[in-house]
């Protein structure tokens, strides 16, 4: 049994590295051709308790540090949310709907286009298949919308944020994006802490096999 587990782990690692190499070579999106996909062992545990899906790497954060949600205020906010339920970054995997950092004409962060999201679907699908997490948590409306390309759903952030649903053979919980702009629009982090408590309860249920 130990040998089987080791072989399974090595097979998963090999499959994931292949996705990383393919993503690093990708130049499909013309506006992102000069960027490099943020996908490597720095994205997290390949056998995570939760797989988080964000929007796209930020200029100051993930695109600079090569670690999703790290090095900027969004990363700080996510860390506070993880800490609130005792969830370590060593126990999670984080990726994005679009793996490269979309920029405006002034080099500011911008939302990825529908075409960019569609172009990156292959990598998101392959990553999900390889990681095979028991729980998926989307961060923001772009991420929630992007997973429809893998398996359709009728969920919206407005109606379903902080609620657990069944999706693609696993549990899905849509969450707000932890960016300063979203936090300010919600008048603070309170609602996000509440939603993360729902995630924490789900993790405890999984732990006890409920």
Question: What pLDDT is recorded for position 206?
Answer: 82
- Cα 46 from Cα 18, distance rounded (Å): 14
Question: What pLDDT is recorded for position 6?
Answer: 61
Q: Which distant-in-sequence residues (6+ apart) come within 8 Å of 154 by Cβ?
A: none
Q: What's this model's pTM, rounded to 2 decimal places?
A: 0.94
Go through the chain and tell me how many residues it has: 210
- Cα 74 from Cα 143, distance rounded (Å): 15
- Cα 83 from Cα 106, distance rounded (Å): 34
| Average pLDDT over every residue of 108-132 | 96
Domains and CATH numbers, the chain: 2-207 (3.40.470.10)
Q: H or E stretch including 143?
A: helix 141-146
């Amino acid at each position: 049994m130990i040998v089987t587990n080791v072989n399974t782990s090595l097979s998963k690692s090999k499959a994931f590295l292949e996705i990383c190499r393919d993503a690093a070579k990708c130049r499909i999106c013309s506006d992102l051709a000069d960027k490099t996909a943020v996908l490597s062992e720095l994205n997290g545990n390949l056998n995570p308790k939760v797989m988080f899906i964000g929007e796209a790497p930020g200029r100051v954060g993930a695109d600079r540090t090569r670690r999703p949600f790290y090095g900027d205020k969004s990363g700080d906010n996510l860390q506070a949310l993880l800490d609130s339920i005792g969830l370590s970054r060593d126990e999670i995997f984080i990726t994005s709907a679009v793996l490269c950092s979309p920029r405006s004409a002034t080099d500011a962060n911008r939302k990825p286009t529908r075409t960019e999201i569609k172009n990156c679907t292959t990598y998101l699908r392959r990553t999900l298949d390889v990681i095979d997490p028991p729980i998926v948590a989307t961060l923001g409306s772009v991420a929630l919308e992007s997973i429809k390309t893998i398996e359709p759903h009728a969920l919206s952030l407005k109606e379903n944020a902080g609620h657990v649903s069944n999706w693609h053979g696993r549990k899905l919980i849509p969450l707000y994006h932890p960016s300063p702009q979203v936090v300010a629009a919600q008048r603070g982090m309170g609602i996000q802490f509440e939603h993360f408590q729902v995630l924490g309860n789900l993790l405890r249920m999984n732990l006890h096999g409920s």
